[in-house]
Chain A
Amino acid sequence: MSAERDLSVRIGTLFMKNPVMPAAGTYDYFENNAGLFPMESLGAIMIKSVHRHPRPGNPPPRVVEVYGGMINAVGIPSVGMEAFMEREIGRFAALNVPVVLSISGSRPGHYAECLELLDNDPCISAVEMNLACPNIDSGLPFSSDLATLRYTVGESRKATRLPLIAKLNPSVPDIVPFARAAEEAGADALTLSNTFRAMKIDIDRQKPVLGSSFGGLSGPAVKAANLFLVWSAFQQVKIPIIACGGICSWQDAVEYMLAGASAVQVGSRNFSNPNVMPEIIAGIESYLAEKGYAAAREIVGLAHRQ
């Protein structure tokens, strides 16, 4: 067997030994994850979005399967940032794997407030800003309006020393200005992207299936469209990109890396194959070995070569 490959990824002070982590809201460290593999083998773990204030989440049904994936309208049920700091964050101390905290808000100022409350807590290695949730004032995601995005990320930058990852909403005419705005406002990395707005109607009841009528599409159906977002952003920003959308196999992960992703997040595929993340790590490693690369970073963006 040849020497081990270097799979590591660095995002500011966040060091991951490999590029694979769960997507927010799909894989919970403390729930029964079938005990299939040590979670320390992942590049990082992710804490589901903690909202600035407590929220019950949306009325059921919250999930529905559709062709090529699923739509969720979970609506970020949360204990709120204060209760999270008081009661929950301690559980993440001294885990042998970097912990990324996802935060969300209903107003632009909420993100910086979350970060002030977090106060650079040593349990957390990086923060992902879920900018796809709706801004109460406009009803639109924070990352679908350039000024709001700049302000929200800029204020957050001032409120923390931790690496900041801006997770953008894909449903915009062109991802590039949004990717650039997040970079200029101080984001250390981008996650591309959150779910695509979608819905399903029950033709017998003649009503939307989901309790909140619409939600976000994820799964294989979004991969091709999302790959283009990663490809486009890679040409125009310098900060690392974390790909998220329809990753179900190591081949999907490699495809995203060739388009320009430094790391990948696996979401809804964890539900049907709870062992998929270690399979993806192993698959990336064999691909590198087979193609003769020493490190994962060598293939990032390779598909852009002339």
Chain B
Amino acid sequence: MFASCRVIENERLGEGLVRLLIDAPEFAAQAKPGQFAMLRSWQEMEPYLPRPISLNQIDPEKGRIGFVIRVKGAGTERLARCRPGDYIQVHGPLGNGFPVLEHAGCVALVGRGVGAAPLRPLAEAYAARGCEIRAYLSARSEALLPDWDFYGSLGAKAVFSSDPTKKVTQELAADCLRMNFDAVYSCGSMRLAKDIRLLQKQYGFAAYLSLEARMACGVGACKGCVCRTVSEDGVSSYIRVCSEGPVLPLERIVE
């Protein structure tokens, strides 16, 4: 879908961090956790390209989609400035999304800062299935982490660290000793992904990573957003993060 959508709400979450809610019934009806949209809230030619932003809320009943935006440069600055009633150009839902395992009893979600944004709809999908959820979240400060309260309200157990010397993957490692995770999901941080890969080799859970890359088209046409991957038979190749990802089995990214 490519359409102009009305902004319903712009909620300031913290310094340079906002949540945008848009009215997009058709989009919300198709969207899956882990997918993203290419957004543009300006008419001028500058900045030239749209910006990839993950879906943070998918509400097919109200026909709404939510994004959490961390101001980084000119594009995110413009997006964060949108007011209710403004229209933004939305292309999506794009990408493959997180696989939701039918019979999972317990899953872990690992995210850092705004990188944790796509985990929220995934948590909701698992909560609706009665699956036990553990969230391991980190950020430089609590104000830079979206959805901290939300995990509690879902009944998920969540740990948070803002201490750079204390990685949340240490907590995950401790929990692995006594819990049986069916799957571990993470996004944003390669550092965390490497730790999870080590645990995966030890405990054998399924693991998925959502990748980020510089994008132009978002739909697989420009071949601009590649990441090197390894296939099951050890063959190394580039995949397009936008159309073959952004979510990939962790073992294809980290050896």
Contact = CB atoms under 8 A, between A and B. Distances in A.
Interface in A250-278: 268, 270-275
A208 interface: no
Interface string A15-35: 000000000011110011110
B47 interface: yes
Contacts of A271: 49-50, 216-218, 222
B213 to A, nearest CB: 6
A248 interface: yes
A64 interface: yes
Contacts of B47: 65
Contacts of B215: 63
Contacts of B40: 272
A36 interface: yes
B153 to A, nearest CB: 35
Name the 10 nearest CB pairs between A and B, nearest first: A63-B224, A28-B221, A34-B2, A31-B220, A271-B217, A271-B216, A62-B224, A31-B221, A63-B216, A32-B219
B213 A34 contact: no
A67 B73 CA distance: 13
Contact of B224 (A69, A72, A219, A220): A72
Contacts of A268: 48-49, 216
B214 interface: yes
Interface string B1-31: 1100000000000000000000000000000
A64 B220 contact: no
Nearest to B224: A63
A272 B2 contact: no
Given A60-B213, A220-B45, A268-B49, 15 more contacts: A27-B221, A31-B217, A31-B221, A32-B220, A34-B91, A48-B223, A69-B48, A70-B49, A72-B222, A77-B223, A77-B226, A219-B48, A271-B218, A271-B222, A274-B2
Most buried by B among A65, A68, A248: A65
A272 B243 contact: no
A56 B2 contact: no
A188 B50 CA distance: 36
Interface in A57-100: 57, 59-65, 67-70, 72, 74, 77
B230 interface: no
Contacts of A68: 45-46, 48
B224 to A, nearest CB: 4
B46 A31 contact: no
Interface in B202-252: 213-228, 237-238, 243
Contacts of A61: 213-214
Contacts of B221: 26-28, 31, 33, 270
Interface string B187-207: 000000000000000000000
Looking at chain A, what size class is its interface with the partner chain?
35 or more
Contacts, number: 98
Contact of A220 (B1, B48, B220, B223): B48
17 contacts: A26-B222, A28-B219, A31-B217, A34-B91, A56-B237, A61-B213, A62-B224, A67-B46, A68-B45, A68-B48, A72-B222, A72-B224, A74-B224, A219-B48, A220-B48, A274-B2, A274-B91
Given A25-B222, A272-B40, A57 B48 contact: no
Contact of B214 (A33, A64, A220, A273): A64
A32 B48 CA distance: 21
B214 A63 contact: yes
B48 A33 contact: no
Nearest to A62: B224
Nearest to B241: A60
Interface in B40-54: 40, 45-50
A31 B217 CA distance: 11
Contacts of B216: 63, 70, 72, 268, 271
Nearest to A32: B219
Which of B1, B222, B228 has the largest number of chain A CB atoms within 10 A?
A: B222
A63 B221 CA distance: 13
Contact of B238 (A33, A56, A63, A65): A56
Contact of A34 (B1, B48, B49, B227): B1
A272 B91 CA distance: 9
Residue from B1, B2, B50, B226 with most neighbouring chain A CB atoms (10 Å) = B226
Contact of A272 (B48, B226, B227): B48
Nearest to A25: B222
A113 B237 CA distance: 26
Given A64-B214, A65-B48, A69-B48, A34 B222 contact: no
A72 B214 CA distance: 11
A72 B222 CA distance: 9
A203 to B, nearest CB: 14
B135 to A, nearest CB: 30
A102 B46 CA distance: 30
B217 A270 contact: yes
Contacts of A25: 222-223
